[in-house]
Amino acid sequence: MHPAFSVVFFTTATGAGYGLLALLGVLGGAQIIPPDFWLGFIGMGLALGLIAAGLLSSTGHLGRPERAWRAFSQWRSSWLSREGVASVATFVPAGLFCIGWVFFDRTGGWVAIAGLLAAIGAIVTVCTTGMIYASLKPIAQWHSRYTLPAYLIFSAMTGSVLLNALLQGFALGSRMLLAASMLLTLLGWGWKLATWRYNDALEIATNANTATGLVGGTVRSLEWPHTEENYLLKEMGFRIARKHSARLRQITQVLAFALPVLLLAATLALPWPFAAVLSVLAAIAQLSGMLVERWLFFAEAKHTVSLYYGR
Amino acid sequence: MTCLPSQGGKKLGLVIDLDTCVGCQACATACKEWNTGGHMAPLTDIDPYGGTVDGVWFNRVHAYEHTTEMGGRTVNFPRSCLHCETPACVTVCPTGASYKRASDGIVLIDEDKCIGCKLCSWACPYGAREFDTDVGVMKKCTLCVDRIYNDNLTEEDRVPACVAACPTSARHFGDLGDPRSAVSQLVAERGGVDLMPELGYHPTNKYLPPRAHTRRAASVPAKALEPVRAEGGFLGWVDRMLSN
């Protein structure tokens, strides 16, 4: 599958944004995080900014973005429509929570309820994003039990590492949150390794024989219907060299998982300004690594239409 | 709604004979010619005379080499929308632009509602949908819905353009929901198959596999032809002497 930057950025940014929003909603509402003006302003600004930037970016790959409002109508059958509805609906409690925290300096009472609803909305939205990919049968690497949990784990992971960077910046860091973000990063690493292992050993029932209905023997593409790449090949026939794939997997592991865990571990032992700097670096490394991970998620996915072209 | 309609009995579709298809591209060309002025018009071409030619086609003819223990053979393979019974391209559509008609099972796109998100083309395992980068919407085979019900055409022309154009009658159009129809009987007789049945899309269109290999060689009953003009020189003199 062609890794369009708008979609790679969209899923990575909204994943982190919804993760951060859910954690702020729950921990803020439960008074674990103090209702400080600047903390709320920057934290909610970052969460909602990442979500809004991601959603705007996703409209960038539409052929007719001016009709995007129509995408809210088919929630009964379409995961993409459900994602649209859930993402917009989540802005309501998230906005109320933000107003309560930033303008009224309180995170209890109705603001806590709004925070909880925003967290639920965030989780639902991330689920719908994951299901868009998990429900596509022609792409075996996505149509697996690994896809939906991956979106949820990576959202929680990037959200917690961002929240840790934010709290460390305000000298409010806690060992609990540090430990949680390290554990989530290790969980994400393990899940990614398991996914790659599963995909590499995947035995796909669909092949050139079933695609053409020609039984037995070998089916070799002799001649394409066209001389140049068409939409199908540009969009779904994207191929990545095995050696590049191996190198990019290494880069993903270093940036998204190994480096953040090391930086967060060092943060445990360091005082305020250093701990804050390392926490922010961990978040930057992880988000960059997740962009590579998401790029690979697309680049390594093989659509059945490529069988017709002998790819 | 992009929820699938409860299906009536009628399932219009194509039956494609891989035994007789000669890969002449007439169906693809006739399709392009009709449909660039039809229901989903235009079928945009980008840089048609340049080095990076691209464009929207509803029908693409591939050629494959199928090798079995019986030997190898070339199989020409036209690929277009199969008007599936459970088309995921319809259910994934977020806007309701994609729909399947309850009356005859044809899968269509309402171009005025399409936002060009391309998810339907990801959901189609057969590559039946092609994006028009110029108009910004998805396009696909309409089963020539503007021909098959067209009262302005004569009865025999009320078939899809690809079927009308095929010089070897490798393409057949009809109601695959009716077991007594000519196309259904053809499928039963020749053992017509679904493409990628394991994915569960239940395509309406069927493909007739190439007939089995035969050891028979063609026999030519006519005598070999004689040269019209006599040869000259020594060989010509020998020929004339022996012929007398």
Per-domain residue ranges of chain B: 12-208
The confidence score (pLDDT) of residue B239 equals 81
CB contact under 8 A, B137 and A61: no
Tell me the per-residue pLDDT of B41-63, one tens digit each, with 9 for 90 and over: 999 999 999 889 999 999 999 99
The confidence score (pLDDT) of residue B7 equals 66
Range with the lowest mean pLDDT among A233-237, B3-7, B96-100, B158-162? B3-7
Q: Which residues pair with B242 in a beta bridge?
A: none
In the predicted structure, residue A16 carries a pLDDT above the cut 70: yes
Q: Which CATH number fits domain B12-208: 3.30.70.270, 3.40.720.10, 3.30.70.20, 3.40.605.10?
A: 3.30.70.20
Strand, coil or helix: what is A25? Answer: helix
The confidence score (pLDDT) of residue A274 equals 93
Tell me the per-residue pLDDT of B65-80, one tens digit each, with 9 for 90 and over: 999 988 899 999 999 9
Q: What is the mean pLDDT of chain B?
A: 93
Tally the domains of chain A: 1
Chain B partners of A221 at a C-beta cutoff of 8 Å? 62-64
Q: Which of B130, B59, B198 is nearest to A237 (CA)?
A: B130
**Per residue in A232-254, is it b (16+ CB within 10 Å) or e — as a string?**
bbebbbbeeeeeeeeebbeebbe
**Which residues in chain B (151-180) have CB-CB distances under 8 A to chain A?**
none
* Residue type, position A241, single letter: A
Strand, coil or helix: what is B8? Answer: coil
% of chain A exceeding 90 in pLDDT: 89
Q: Which residues pair with A303 in a beta bridge?
A: A139
Query: What CA dihedral angle connects B152, B154, B159 and B161, to 10 degrees?
Result: -80
Contact A203/B at CB under 8 A: no
* Confidence band, pLDDT 50/70/90 cuts, at residue B214: confident
Chain A partners of B195 at a C-beta cutoff of 8 Å? 210-213
Q: How far is B202 from chain A (nearest CA, A)?
A: 13
In the predicted structure, residue A63 carries a pLDDT above the cut 80: yes
In the predicted structure, residue A35 carries a pLDDT above the cut 90: no
Q: Mean pLDDT throughout B17-45?
A: 96
Q: What is the CATH number of the domain that holds A38?
A: 1.20.1630.10
CB contact under 8 A, A225 and B60: yes
CB contact under 8 A, B136 and A64: yes
ipTM value, please give it.
0.94
In the predicted structure, residue B173 carries a pLDDT above the cut 60: yes
Range with the lowest mean pLDDT among A58-67, A183-192, B106-115, B170-179? A58-67
CB contact under 8 A, A213 and B209: yes
The confidence score (pLDDT) of residue B1 equals 57
Q: Mean pLDDT throughout B24-30?
A: 97
In SS3 terms, A215-257 reads as CCCEEEEEECCCCCCCHHHHHHCCCCCHHHHHHHHHHHHHHHH
Alpha-carbon distance A283 to A158, whole Å?
7
Contact B124/A at CB under 8 A: yes
Contact A207/B at CB under 8 A: no
Q: What is the mean pLDDT of chain A?
A: 95
Show the domain range for A183. 5-309
Alpha-carbon distance A12 to A2, whole Å?
16
Q: Mean pLDDT throughout A53-58?
A: 92
Range with the lowest mean pLDDT among B9-23, B135-149, B182-196, B223-237? B223-237
